[in-house]
Amino acid sequence: MRESLFNLIAQPPSTIRAVGIMSGTSLDGLDLCLSDFRYENSKWDFAIVKATTLPYSPEIKRSLTEAFSLTGAELCALDFEYGKWIGERINEFVADVNPKPNIIGSHGHTIFHQPSLGYTTQIGKGAAISAVTGIPCVSDFRSGDVARGGQGAPLVPIGDRLLFSSYNWCLNIGGIANISTQKDSQQLAWDICPANMILNALANKQGKPYDSNGDLGREGAILTNLLDKLNSLPYYQSTPPKSLGREWFETHFYPLFVSDDSSISNLLATTYEHISHQIAQSIPSNASGKLLVTGGGAHNDFLIEKIKEKANISIVVPNKQTVDFKEALVFAFLSVLYIKGEAGSLSSVTGATASSIAGVLSL
């Protein structure tokens, strides 16, 4: 394996095949995306070979949800156990694939993210993934950037820059909504606000996994007091680079909903208003070009309608495969950049002292 990896680095094939693995804050499941990447004529091209989402069992979802409260030893055990589970799912995913992937890029699942305190933790041990699959795995994509004083996120903007350069703005609406763009030849990006994290949490209270098409929120009325509190949170007045994590959500954001005994429909209606407002605020009123929208929130008709009402820009929702697997695609791409020795974490995005090759390689 080591010799084949060295050959891959020294004499990379014209096409590199990579698997990208993503588990988001909304805990929808594990995204797997197998893609081919080719660099020619000074431009990267890609083709998605196959992709799927594996919903988490109640047991795995509970383990990941409660992981932040584990002891150090318990979290270490879960890190390895979850990595082995990911490796087994990859084996099943590529069983009928020929040729096999050259490399795996796995984001893992974020348990702690406190860049202002100098640390971040994603579990799903890359060494375990590589041991189970027999394929080199790049993981732990955020730590190097955080060690350089950066936010460690967002990481997808390198893909926006090199794979989706025909769009002026790229918006991903996952558990957290984030956006990226180029300005003066530099890539800029930041987390905007919670999105599916709060939408799913509220829908769960109605016994639903998520608010399909925004139907529950569409029925509700906007709670102006709650909306004002949400929009007044200090995070929204701070300037990029900036990122969000579970800790901020649970400490500053979600308590505003817990203390409000309004109907779920009204809380959702207010949340949609808040998310669409913050997204629109992130795009200058004189912006030109096209906004690409991906992530689970792109399937939410009501949310997209509200963004279109507020944002003065042409909005493009691409095909379902790109909507659902763009993040996993980019983590596959980050593993390709790793073996080519190219920066995947951009200091202009994260605020780190320098751009850096993102990730840690396990053989």
Query: Coil, helix or strand for 169?
Result: strand
User: What residue segments make up the domains of the chain, in order of their start?
Assistant: 2-152+325-362, 157-321
Superfamily of domain 2-152+325-362: ATPase, nucleotide binding domain (3.30.420.40)
Domains 2-152+325-362 and 157-321 alike in fold: yes
pLDDT in tens, the chain (363 residues): 555 666 776 666 789 999 999 998 888 899 999 999 999 998 999 999 999 999 999 999 999 999 999 999 999 999 999 999 999 999 999 999 999 999 999 999 999 999 999 999 999 999 999 999 999 999 999 999 999 999 999 999 999 999 999 999 999 999 999 999 999 889 999 999 999 999 999 999 999 999 999 999 999 999 999 999 999 999 999 999 999 999 999 999 999 999 889 999 999 999 999 999 999 999 998 888 999 999 999 999 999 999 999 999 999 999 999 999 999 999 999 999 999 999 999 999 999 999 999 999 999
Which CATH entry fits the domain spanning 157-321: 3.30.420.40, 1.20.1560.10, 1.10.240.10, 3.40.630.40?
Answer: 3.30.420.40
- At 167, the amino acid letter reads Y
Burial of 42 (0-12, 13-18, 19+ CB in 10 A): exposed
